[in-house]
Each structure stands twice: as structure tokens, then as C-alpha cells.
Structure 1
Amino acid sequence: MKIERYEQNPLITPADVKPYHDGFEVIGAFNAGIAEYNGEVLMLLRVAERPVSPDPNIVLAPVYNVDHGGLDLIEIRKDDDRYDLSDPRVIVRKENAPAFEYLTSLSYLRIARSRDGHTFQVDEQPLVYPSQSLEIFGIEDPRITQIGDTYYIYFSAVSPVGIGESLVSTKDFRNITHHGMIFGPDNKDVLIFPEKIGGKYYALHRPTTKSCGRPEIWLAESDNLLYWGNHKHLLGLRPGNWDGGRIGGGAVPIKTERGWLELYHGATKDHRYCMGAVLLDLNDPSKVIARSDRPIMEPEADYERQGFFGEVVFSCGALVRGDTVAMYYGVSDTSMACAELSLQEILDSLQPV
């Protein structure tokens, strides 16, 4: 399959983003939700900022404080044997392993704007910032679905009680209405379809549990976008394959003549992330028509293979113009990139199930 990576890749890197917090450094600008508004392509970036510790023997963990609306910095000594600091992203209390105690960075959502879809400028201020108790460890990995003149933005909300999916909406990307958590912990990778199907709204989601089950894709339906039910298991792992470790939704589903096309991410057990696709029935998205046997796209460029968490191509959002799919994707948990693919070639590559 022909893939044209943009010459400007990576389009946004941490170096392109000025820290919002004094004394912090930006370590990630990635996994953005994608939208078109007022003649611009918008990337709603997940910006991850880490406090710079003045003491090399201390790791700082930022936590949003609901009471005073600012950040508290928790100090953890590197020689404190109660904690496992081997993963630079998290602070794990050994007696509670594998659950983490704190994150070493705080994520929020910030817009990058472009007239041509290639060159972006990053806003100075966040669009969505942690604001309540279910978000005190940050908000991550937004997706954007436009329905009519309203843009629905949903994201992972992280706190000590788990990771759930929260919803806000906007008509102008300035004024935000908060709607609360729509999928409770633990759940990620939610994608809301861009129109009703048979009078219902539909969403993909990825629940996980600590008892049984695996990180796989489910389908839910709603009358109002706020309360979701009739959950159905949709797509499973394929052990030993490129999507044998975990899978989750990537881009908002694309309506085609053949069905709803979903560009999803799959990872191996050793955490190599690729992009594939699945085709769902237009009138009943619980029916899987076809699926990628092999990845449509995998980490090949240096910026996809090296970074904060390497070997990652993470599909985020797609803009379709005729046969061209401009697929914006996160790379190495660090930056944002884009590649163009043929819609027809993607559809033709899928194998019936």
C-alpha cells in the first residue's frame, strides 16, 4: 500500500510547545484529536508536562488540587525502596504493584492550528485543563466527533480511582461545556460515530479489567450521547499477530459505501504499535464485515521508532478528501505526524471475516 508521509514530519514536537507551567518541561505533544473548523485544521494535542526537579535525587509528581485550583508537587526520593521508578512515566508503590501511585507528568489539551494541514501553530493557553477530582492526574488522548454544528470532545480522565472517559462539547473551540464521565473506569479509546444509525448514537470503547477479559474493542449505544448501554463485544485480539497484545479505536469512524471504516491501533505483547482497519456494517455497526490481516502502517521512520516510548504509530484522526485519507497519528508517545493513504486501497486490503 502506498503511504506518503509528510515531508514536514513530525509536524509537532515537544520543542514546538512552550510549557504552560513555570518550572516544567514539555515531554510530549501527541495523540491529538483532529477537527476542521473555520477554514483551519485543528490538532487538539495531548500536551504532557513534567516538573523539573532541582534535586537529582528526587522525582516530582504533579497532582491537580481541586480545592485551590493549582498543582501540588509530590516529592519521591529515588532511594526510597517503597517505590519502583523503573518506568519514567509512573511512580509505582511496590506494595500496590502493578497499579501506579502517581504519574511523573500532567497532561492537558491544547490546540495547534493550520491552514494547510502541514504547518501548525500552537495556542498559548490550554483549551481543556483538569478541573475536577476525576482528572487530578491529568486528561489524555482526546478524540473529536462533529455532529451538526457541535464538536464533541472526549478524553481519558486519570485519577487515583481509575481511568475513565469524560465528555465536553464546543461550537467555537473557545467556550466549553462539561458533561461529565460517560464511560467509567477502566475505559479508554472511545470513539463516537459522526451520525445516528437507526435512531441511536454509537460509540466504540475499550474497557479493561483486572479479573478476566482482555483489552479489546466494544460497542455501545445511546439516545443522548451521555448515557451509554447495550454494550457488545466487537473485536478481539489475535494472539501472535500484530494486534495480539491490545487493540483500541484510533480515528473517528469514516462512512463509506462499503461500511463504516475504523482505523484502529494494535500492539504486540512487547508494545509495538501499528495501525490497521476494520469495516463495520452501515446499518448495524455490531456486524464486522472485514479486517486487516497485516498492518496498514507500522513504525518505520526514525521519529516513529525513537522517542519517549518508541516503536509507536498511534492513529488519532483522519480527514477524507475524495480518495485521499490524511491520517494524523502520534509517534513514540512524543510527537504528531501525518501520512496520506488511498481510501480505496485501504478498503481493498481488508479480508472478509
Structure 2
Amino acid sequence: MHGQAEQVQVEGAQFEVQDVAGGRGLRGERGCSPARGDGQRHRTNDGGGNSVFVHQRPGNDAGRHELSVLNGEPEDAERSGEGSLSEGSAASASTPKATRTSETAERPLRAVTARFAAALLAAAAAVAATPPPYRPPFGAWSRANRGNPVLEPQRSGLEVSGVFNPAVIKDGDRYVMLYRAQDAQKTSRLLRATSGDGIHFVREAEPALVPEAEYERPGGVEDPRLVKIGETYRLTYTAYDGKDAQLALATSPDLRRWERRGVIMPAGRGRWNVHWTKSGAILDERVNGRYWMYYMGDAQGAYDQTGVAWSEDLLHWTEALDAPILPRRRGRFDSRVVEPGPPPVLTPEGILLVYNGADDRLVYRTGWALFDGKDPTRLLARSDTPIFVPERPWELVGQVPSVVFVEGLVREGPRWLFYYGAADTRVGVAEAFTRKESR
């Protein structure tokens, strides 16, 4: 996560935790000498005008740390070449004021107390053993299709008002997209398009799902998420009767014939979500013998936040917590809305959920959250800043301005494709690639 640097205090001296070659280390308040090779070297001021270095090679125990004491100002030491000191070497010939000692040396430390040295070594060892902050497995996002939408609304018919908020899944060698389309009366249907490359889509004439049930009329069926578990495709969507939006489910063996399973999270009946329910993102494998779903509920005060529910049969769902698992955060990009994006992904580090956040001005941006892979109700990390924001004119202007809203995800090898609605009017796709350290 991003944010203020982690701080450690040792014997009254303030240190900043930094990632360096070979692990993590401490940076002192008077500056830092970066690691050389695979070692770590960090400097602080001991209060007596001297610079203290802590240098550890990976694989060595705490007793093998090396302390170097240099008289004079830090900038003088830097100009003298102190950065070239390494474990087991004598002081550089270009630094006549430098002396070196270690835990086993008989010569006492000059201007550094044993208490300070011991505390500093202990703190450095503890920090080095602490894992670095989590980063998602994918790198920076970029807009595919040369920065243009992959679907735009037609001038008449079922999608004249807009096409947006798509779910996409790979079926054999084809990408199948179910997207929300609005007609002139703002009634929503789920239409279908297919692609061979995940970028260029061809519409199909027959809608995938139209409002038929009482709980779907007159508002329609909205905002799909798709997941395949076993041989069955499961579609969560928002059913809107003009009064309440409720999270509903349909299933299919082939992405064409859909059977309604009804409302799975009724509006106004939750333990904390007292109004609408939407945006069900189901993990496609069991954890602790259960299936898990992240969803959006309306909390008191008209704030949309993310909750978590579990099921043993994928049909009947039970809220897992008495409060949102991802609450809104004042002053952040998700201060007003925290809504799940595509189905979450189980990674070696945990369950990764990409989500949609909106601030008090209802500008929608994209964030991520990481949950414990053995306990989906335990939040491990969360983005402090968004990873994707509305920038292009077609993301800034439309039915709802300044919106990127991610609902679809397809992974193929190192490539991640994220499908999103833009300004509630168009469909875009962003791509990212797996970081080298995550491969």
C-alpha cells in the first residue's frame, strides 16, 4: 500500500523503514547509504555528531551485523566515499576518519554506546524480517484498443441510451461478453457479444437476459458478473423493479440458456445493509468448505459499502459479518461508494478483489483489496490510492460523468484484461501484465 512511511524509534533516534536490495532496512534521520550488492547499510546520527551504519548480509545472523562510525558531518562522509564500505573490509583509504568495528571486536565503539548499538541491531533485524508492503500481481494498467472504446451504443433500439458494465469470460477460444444495455426508457437488458481476441467484439441479435420476473420490472436487469464453477456458469446481476435493487442469480450450462434462481440477497433485510443489494462477486473455489461472495449493500446514511457472504450450495447465501468488510473511507477515492468489481482471484498471497470506489463527488475510480486465502473475512491489505481513473473524454462525458466501473476480468498467461463501463455509456478494456516477481 501507499501512504506515509513506516517509522521505527531506537533509543530516541527516528528511523524510516525502507525497501532495499536483499530485504528491508532502516533509514536514519540524517540520511541513508544505500545497499551495495545484496547487503544492507543504513546510517543515522547517534546524537554525538557521528554517523552509524547498520550493515547486514542476507543469510547472516544478527551477530554478524557491522557498525561503522564516522566522525564529522554526513555530507563530508559521503564525499569521502563511505558508501563503498562493505562487510569484512577495512575502511576505504579515501576515508581516513572512518573506523570499523563489529560485535567481536575488542576495541570499544567510539561515540556510540553499547546500548544504542544493541538496540539498533535488534531493530534492524526485526525490520529486515518484516515482509514488504503488498503489491498486486499485475503492473500498471493501460487502455487497450488504442485507447478507444470496444463497444459504443447504437443509435436506435435496445441500447440507444448506453452500453456499459460488462462481464466477460473465456469459453474455449472465444471471449463472451454480457453487457448492460439501456433503451430510450432506461430499461436495462443484458446483451451478448463475442470476440476472438478479447478486443474486437461482434454483437449478437438475441438478448441474453431480459426483464421478465416481477422483481425485474420495470427497471430491468443490470450489472452482470460471470463465473464458471464446475460445468455451470453462474451470473449474478442486479434486478431492479423501479423501487428496490436486489442481487439476483441465474445459471446456464452454455452461456445461452439461462435459468433464474431468484433474489439471493433481498433488499432491506441485511444485518448492516438496510436498503439495496448489488454487485455479487463470487470466488470460484471453496475456502474452508464454503463458497464466498463479496457484494455491495447500502448502509445507514446512504453509503454503499462491500460485505461478504458464504454459501454451501451457491444458491442460499448468508452474511458472514455484522458490518461491511470494506467500509468507506473519509477523504479517499472511496469515501462514498465501495462496490465489488469482477469475481475475486485466489493468489498465493490471498484473495484479490478489484473494486470500484466513488468519492463524495461520485467520481468512480478503481482500487483493490487483499483478503486472507484461508479466511475470506479477514482483510490483509487495501489500496490507498486508485489504480485506474477516468481520463479519456468518453470516460468523462456520458450518462453519468467521470466513471470507470470494472466488472469483467480475463487472465491469459501474464496478461490481465479488465473490462469496464465508461460514463455509463460505453465499454472499454484495460490491460496489465503480471509483475516479474509474481510469475
Q: TM-score, normalised to structure 2's length?
A: 0.63
Q: Deviations over 1:78-105 (max 9, x none)?
A: xxxxxxxxxxxxxxxxxxxxxxxxxx41
Shift of 1:4: 2.2
CA contact (8 A) 1:47 1:108 kept: yes
User: 2:281 is matched with which residue?
Assistant: 191
Contact 2:167 2:409 in 1 (8 A): no
SS of structure 2 residue aligned to 1:304 = helix
SS in structure 2 of the partner of residue 286 of structure 1: strand
Greater helix fraction, Structure 1 or Structure 2: 2
Q: Which amino acid aligns with 1:49?
A: D
Q: CA 1:263–1:118 in 2, change beyond 3 Å: closer, same or farther?
A: same
Q: Is the 8 A contact 1:304 1:310 kept in 2?
A: yes
**One-letter code aligned to 1:45:** Y
Pick the aligned partner of 2:388 from 281, 289, 297. 297
1:6 aligns with 2:141: no
Query: Are residue 216 (structure 1) and residue 305 (structure 2) matched?
Result: yes
TM-fit CA distance, 1:161: 4.4
More strand by share: 1
* Partner Cα separation in structure 1 for residue 367 and residue 421 of structure 2: 14
* CA distance in 2 between partners of 1:257 and 1:344 (Å): 14
Q: Secondary structure at the match of 2:215?
A: helix
> C-alpha separation between the residues in 2 aligned to 1:342 and 1:290?
21
| Post-superposition offset of 1:230 | 3.8
Matched, 1:178 2:268: no
Correspondence list, 1:1-353, <5 A: 2-8=140-146, 9-15=148-154, 19-20=157-158, 26-50=160-184, 104-136=185-217, 137-185=219-267, 186-209=276-299, 211-212=300-301, 214-232=303-321, 233-344=324-435
How far 1:154 sits from its partner (Å)? 1.2
Greater Rg over alpha carbons, structure: 2
SS in 2 for 1:134: helix
TM-score normalised by structure 1 residue count: 0.78
Q: Is the contact between residue 318 and residue 326 of structure 1 (CA under 8 Å) also seen in structure 2?
A: yes
Q: In the aligned structure 2, how far is the partner of 1:228 from the partner of 1:345?
A: 38
Give the share of equivalent positions with the same residue, in percent.
Answer: 30
User: How far has the Cα of 1:152 moved from its partner?
Assistant: 0.2
Q: Cα 1:178–1:287, aligned 2, differ >3 Å: closer, same or farther?
A: same
Pairwise CA distance, 1:40: 0.8
Residue number in structure 2 paired with 1:350: none
**How far off its partner does 1:2 sit?**
3.0
Residue identity matched to 2:352: L
Displacement of 1:305 in angstroms is: 1.1
Is the contact made by 1:134 and 1:161 (CA closer than 8 Å) also made in structure 2?
no
Aligned partner of residue 285 in structure 1, secondary structure: strand
The structure-2 alpha-carbon separation of the partners of 1:144 and 1:155, relative to structure 1 and needing over 3 Å to count, comes to same
Instruction: Give the aligned partner of residue 99 of structure 2.
Output: none
Q: Alpha-carbon deviations, 1:224-259, whole Å to 9, x = none?
A: 111111432311111111111111000110121111
User: C-alpha separation between the residues in 1 aligned to 2:365 and 2:343?
Assistant: 17
Separation of aligned partners in 1, 2:145 and 2:195: 15
Q: Helix, strand or coil: the match of 1:32?
A: strand
1:197-228 per-residue CA deviation (whole Å, 9 max, x = no partner) reads: 1110111111115x457311100011111111
Higher relative contact order, chain-length normalized (CA < 8 Å, sep 6+): 1
C-alpha distance in 1 between matches for 2:434 and 2:408? 14
Q: Is the 8 Å Cα contact of residues 18 and 124 (structure 1) preserved in structure 2? A: no
Unpaired stretches in structure 2, ≥5 consecutive residues: 1-138, 268-275
Instruction: Show structure 1 runs of 5+ residues with no match.
Output: 51-103, 348-353
CA deviations on 1:141-166 (whole Å, 9 max, x unpaired) are 01111101211011100014411011
CA drift of 1:279 comes to 0.7
Q: Give how far 1:319 is off.
A: 1.1
Residues 238 and 245 in structure 2, CA contact (< 8 A), matched pair in contact too: yes
- Cα distance in 2 for partners of 1:243, 1:161 equals 25
Label 1:43 to 1:246 Cα distance change in 2 as closer, same or farther (>3 A). same
SS of 2:190's equivalent in the other structure is strand
Whether contact under 8 Å (1:13, 1:335) holds in the other structure is: yes
Q: RMSD in angstroms over aligned alpha carbons?
A: 2.0
